[in-house]
Structure 1
Amino acid sequence: MNAVAPVLSSPAVSEKAPSSQVEERSSTSENTSSPQPVSLDGGLRGWCAVAGAWFIQFCMVGTVTSFGVTQTYYAQHFLTRYTLSDLSWIGTAPLFLEYFFGLSVGQLLDAGHFHWTVFVGTLVFLFSLFMLSLAREGQYYQVFLAQGIGMGAGLGICFLPTSGIVPNHFTRRRALAMGITTTGTSVGGFFFSVLFSHFLNGSIGFKWGIRICAFICLGCLIAANLLMRTHPEGWIAPAQQPSESSSPRKTPPIRALFKNVSYVLTITYGFVVCLGLWFPNFMVQLFAESHGISPGLSSWLLAIINISSIFGRILPNWLADRWGVFEVYMPCTALAGVLAILMLVCTHPASIVVFCILYGFFSGSVVSLYFPAVLCLDPNVGESGVRLGLACMPVGLALLIGTPIASTIVGTHNRWWAGCVFAGVTEIGSAGLLIIAYLNKRKLDARTVALKPDSD
């Protein structure tokens, strides 16, 4: 069963039907159902959109997910008076804001304001990144405002539009294209974590290290804004689609989305899984150093997770286009949870490296398959902005509170077992929600197939 491919397909007309019947049926379809975007399944415009979205995620999400490196620097040198739980809010705030703006930005996206939204978001992000370089040692509020709030707001404004523009250009290869886009997060996380580690622990230092990263982001974000273009017919909101004999169809109210049980279960899954998903990413360096692993190796662990997640964002998404999104998503989530618990026994150099490789792969698939899972539940891509935007909000809330909760559980006495169990249980439990959503979706699909001959 392919859960993604039918999303952009339109009702087929029999080859034996006369041309007049084709025109009549097409006209009837336009007036009675929501307009379906025309897709070229990629093309130059589509792959340029993938490249532009990739640059956005490379710069914005990459710098945010490199927080594990800066958190270690803050704890040991820059903000030494603050607890691990205090510092974790700097990293989780931008992750929360990345998804918090989802619903409002999604409505702007459906209304056709893609380019201005992304432009404003890039300006906010770049301004905040440069301001971070001006933060003074020991001034927690300055770091939090620039890195936690400002960069998070810029990321939140850009994230959904750049994630949502890609599926509008693809049909059969939608999950794969979205997975390729999310590899920008992994490559950026690897690149910036290595760069931050080199700058912060070398002669360049904090201020100029951040400024150099900001100039790199400036060039990439200019390229991203120039590359991304909406589909000439595919990103027209339902309210903008022309209709000859009926009033335009508006985006469905939010309460209508909650009538879809599988959709509700899927976004609930997004909340539960993200409570513990990022704990290993943020804590693996401190975990390794607390178990006697050399700082030279531990500083590379987050980079290993990020580079491994590149493959976890491509291969599972490629399989999802062939086997179905949920069929791939469920085992990947469960395995990520098992690995989070097994982090406890990875206290030697070889074992912690193997853990980072495996966890990076499966946690990457958890991230990259979320939006394809949400989209495959309803075929109306013209309303994808609102659907994805609403799905972002529980994820943002979980990212805001998840890592601080786990950090508090670990505490100053390094109760690592409690943090790892918390992360593993939330991920394994969320896999159960996916299973229920999948079974409900199959039941509805079977009912639709059974009723289809009667409707014809």
Structure 2
Amino acid sequence: MSRTTQITSLGRDHDLESSVTTSIQLQPLPQSEIQQRDTHRHETSDGELLEIDPVLEASRAADNDVPDGGYAWVVIFASAIVCFWFTGNGNYTWGVIQNALLEQKLASAATLSFIGSLSPTIMAALAIVNARVIRWLGIRVSAILGIVLLGVAQLTSGFSTHSVAGQFITRGVGVGLGMSLCFMVTSTIPAQYFSRKRGLANGIVSAGGGLGAAVLSYVLDALIQRFGVQWAYRIVGIMTLVTGLPAAWIMKERTTLPRVSFIEWRLFKDLKFVLIFVAGAIATFPLLVPAFFLPFYSTSIKLPSSTGAALLSGYNFSSAVGRILGGFCSDNLGPLNTLIISLILSAVSMLALWPASTTLIPLAFFAIINGASNGMYFATVPTAVGNIFGSARVSVALGMIVTGWGAGYLMVSTSISITVLESEADMRITGSPNRRLYIGRAWRIGCGSQGLSTGHVLRRFPRYGSDWLSNTYEISDKLVAFSQTLRWIR
């Protein structure tokens, strides 16, 4: 065979091999059935895989551009005015109206307390829904709608003071709808304008609510004494519309809120979120009882109704101070540390002070301490949620947490408390066994669980807390042990 023929044959063989080789193609891998998570994985220098939450990263990037001052303070003070009215018209002044309706013999104390509990329960139950409403309508329109609902509900309540069903619809459901919108708006807007001073901003907004409750406690009592409960409702409703609507108009978004899920179920896989959710659900069991029953309890120990209103006003004023203090502590000690401090103070005041408050002075001291600690708690929750889970997610995460408060508002804060009191043959007898049983044991279980749940967050996640609170378990255990030694617990 000639050399030319050999070269030609080799060339053909090479072409054949090339054609065979290039005809083999890799088939794409089948698509995984595992859904992609809303996180990205990043490999660190030491080879460790970290999951990066894009919403949290977007929140951190947005927090770098917040004004932390200037016009932001105008928005904050407008939010405080809105908070003034929805808190003042809500839970913290119901005790004054409840006393007046009891004197009119409209219904039993248990029924009236259930009416009062409807508004905070609806506020909590609709928190997730209103988080979506705010994203749909915007903060300004949502705030205006909330104030309109609140004012109209108060006005119509003035025409239904002789109807239990009317009070359920107007004072219970109507006020609850307005409160829910206003609460979500005022709780989420500070995160858009503040980062370094976010705790203080939330504290000022929340303090507006405490101040509103303190002022309206006096105002409602004076209006009821002078004009009756019907016109007290109507006058406060008109005042709400006249001053609340301009404040709501000032409130607006700084940036467009990113789209997030209606409910972020994966947050329940985060132990930090679960523990804050559980601690909040437990905390609301006892927190509103003093606000509802200070006037009722003061009457039972032979104090005049004006003294009960003054005690409630002092409770609310100290709550306003505690809210600002809570904001300051959140910025300097950390929001979770502040939550633990507030819960421990609330537990101690309920365990040690209220059972011994059979005269005016210890009862006033209890109202001051408990009001400040409870106000500190409510002012700190939005800051904790925004700092841990991101300002871009604060409306959804806060809505999910607040929804967990509904059971405590509806069940223990009102109905169970008054049922225990009414089971006595004479509610005027102080220091009754049932009162000691409920206040002692229920408070011990509830407040002790608060400390245990929240303390576990710091032990598992020390970067969100400080070393000096790492022994929260021991503090809670000692508190429970101390309460067991008190004679009034049987």
TMscore range, shorter length? 0.7 to 0.9
Equivalent residue for 2:15? Answer: none
Q: Provide the rounded CA distance (Å) in 2 between the counterparts of 1:294 and 1:130.
A: 28
The one of 361, 367, 376 aligned to 2:378:
367
- 1:271 Cα deviation from its structure 2 partner: 0.8
Give the corresponding residue for 2:49.
Answer: none
CA offsets 1:260-286 (integer angstroms, 9 cap, x no match): 111111011111010111111111122
Q: CA deviation at 1:424?
A: 4.8
Label 1:318 to 1:206 Cα distance change in 2 as closer, same or farther (>3 A): same
Judged with a 3 Å threshold, the aligned counterparts in structure 2 of structure 1 residues 33 and 366 are, in CA distance, closer, same or farther, namely: closer
8 Å contact from structure 1 (residues 110, 383) kept in 2: no
Corresponding residue number in structure 2 for 1:159: 183
CA drift at 1:191: 1.2
Residue matched to 1:416: 435
1:76 aligns with 2:87: no
Of the candidates 399, 402, 405, which is equivalent to residue 392 of structure 1? 402
Give per-residue Cα distances to partners, 1:61-83, cap 9 Å, x unaligned. 1111200101111112151xx22
In the alignment, what sits opposite 1:293? Answer: 303
Amino acid of the structure 2 residue aligned with 1:182: S
1:78 and 1:57, CA in 2 relative to 1: closer, same or farther beyond 3 A? Answer: farther
Deviation at 1:444, TM superposition (A): 8.8
Structure 1 residue 48, shift from structure 2 partner: 1.6
8 Å contact 1:121–1:158 — kept in the other structure?
yes
**How far did 1:256 drift?**
1.2
Counterpart selection for 2:194 from 170, 182, 185: 170
TM-superposition CA deviations, 1:332-375 (whole Å, max 9, x none): 20120121122011111111111111111111112111222222
Q: Which residue of 2 aligns with 1:17?
A: none
Verify: 1:430 aligned to 2:450, yes or no. Answer: yes
Distance 1:31 1:319, change over 3 A: closer
1:111, CA displacement in angstroms? Answer: 5.0
Q: 1:8-27 maps to which residues of 2 (within 5 A)?
A: none
1:108 matched residue in structure 2: 133
Q: How does 1:244-263 map to 2 (within 5 A)?
A: 250-251=260-261, 254-263=264-273
Larger radius of gyration: 2
Trace 1:1-80 onto structure 2 (pairs within 5 A).
Answer: 34=58, 36-37=61-62, 38-64=64-90, 65-79=92-106
d(CA) in 1 for partners of 2:116 and 2:313?
A: 16
**Identity of aligned pairs, percent?**
20
Question: Which of these residues, 198, 211, 229, is aligned with residue 234 of structure 2?
Answer: 211
Q: Which residue of 2 aligns with 1:99?
A: 124
Instruction: Quickly say closer, same or farther: Cα 1:444–1:43, change in 2 above 3 A.
Output: closer
Query: Does the aligned pair in 2 maintain the 1:90–1:143 contact within 8 Å?
Result: yes
Cα displacement string for residues 43-62 of structure 1 (whole angstroms, at most 9, x for unaligned residues): 33311221121111111111
Please report how far the alpha carbon of residue 293 of structure 1 lies from its aligned counterpart in structure 2 after TM superposition: 2.6
| Cα 1:444/1:360, change in 2 over 3 Å | closer
Instruction: Note if contact 1:75-1:84 (Cα within 8 Å) is conserved in structure 2.
Output: yes
Please state whether the residue corresponding to 2:159 is helix, strand or coil: coil
The alignment status of 1:120 with 2:142, answered yes or no, reads no
* Greater RCO (CA < 8 Å, at least 6 residues apart): 1
CA drift at 1:108: 3.2
What's the CA shift string for 1:365-418, capped at 9, x where partnerless?
12111222222222x321221111111101123212222122222224143323
Q: Normalising to structure 2: TM-score of the pair? A: 0.77
Select the residue among 253, 269, 277 that pairs with 1:230. 253
In structure 1, the gaps of 5 or more residues are 1-28, 240-249, 447-456
May I ask how many residue pairs the two structures share in their alignment? 400
Return 111-120 or 350-359, whichever deviates more. Answer: 111-120
* Structure 2 counterpart of 1:75, one-letter code: L
Q: Deviations over 1:218-250 (max 9, x none)?
A: 12211212221211x3xx2224xxxxxxxxxx4
1:96–1:399 CA contact under 8 A, matched in 2: yes
In structure 2, distance between residues paired with 1:39 and 1:55? 26
Identify which of 325, 334, 338 aligns with 1:328: 338
Q: Which amino acid aligns with 1:372?
A: T
Matches of 2:159 and 2:304, distance apart in 1: 31
Given that 1:100 and 1:397 are in contact with CA atoms closer than 8 Å, whether structure 2 keeps it comes out as: no
Which deviations, in whole Å up to 9, do the C-alpha atoms of 1:31-54 show, x marking residues without a partner? 995363253343333112211211
TM-aligned CA distance change 1:265 to 1:56, over 3 Å = same
Aligned-pair RMSD on alpha carbons?
A: 2.3
- Give 1:216's aligned amino acid: M
1:406 and 2:417 are equivalent in the alignment? yes
Q: Residue 280 of structure 1 contacts residue 340 of structure 1 at CA under 8 Å; is this kept in 2?
A: no
Q: Is the 8 A contact 1:338 1:428 kept in 2?
A: no
Report how far residue 112 of structure 1 moved.
6.4
CA offset at residue 85 of structure 1? 1.4
Alpha-carbon distance in structure 2 between the residues aligned to 1:111 and 1:44: 27
Deviates more, 1:217-226 or 1:292-301: 292-301
Change (3 A) 1:410 1:127: same
Question: d(CA) in 1 for partners of 2:464 and 2:74?
Answer: 36
Q: Is the 8 A contact 1:277 1:423 kept in 2?
A: no
What is the SS of the residue equivalent to 2:302?
A: coil
Residue 304 (structure 1) aligned to one of 290, 314, 318: 314
Per-residue CA deviations over 1:296-351 (Å, capped at 9, x if unaligned) read 32231100100111111111320221111112221220120121122011111111
Q: 1:348 aligns with which of 356, 359, 382?
A: 359
Residues 180-233 of structure 1, C-alpha deviations (whole Å, 9 max, x = no match):
10011111111111111112123x1122221111111112211212221211x3
Aligned partners of 2:130 and 2:184 also within 8 Å: yes
Q: 2:214 aligns with which of 190, 203, 218?
A: 190
Q: What amino acid sits opposite 1:140 in the alignment?
A: V
Q: Cα 1:420–1:39, aligned 2, differ >3 Å: closer, same or farther?
A: farther
Instruction: Pick closer, same or farther for the CA change 1:72–1:339 going to 2, 3 Å.
Output: same
**Does 41-50 or 357-366 show the bigger shift?**
41-50
CA shift in 2, pair 1:224/1:377, >3 Å: same
Q: Hey, what's the Cα distance between the residues in 2 that align with 1:417 and 1:200?
A: 32
| Structure-2 separation of matches of 1:32 and 1:186 | 31
Residue 163 (structure 2) pairs with residue 144 (structure 1): no
Whole-angstrom distance in 2 between the partners of 1:31 and 1:420: 43
**Quick one: distance in 1 between partners of 2:239 and 2:448?**
38
Aligned amino acid, residue 169 of structure 1? Y
CA contact (8 A) 1:40 1:170 kept: yes
If the length of structure 1 is used for normalisation, what is the TM-score?
A: 0.82
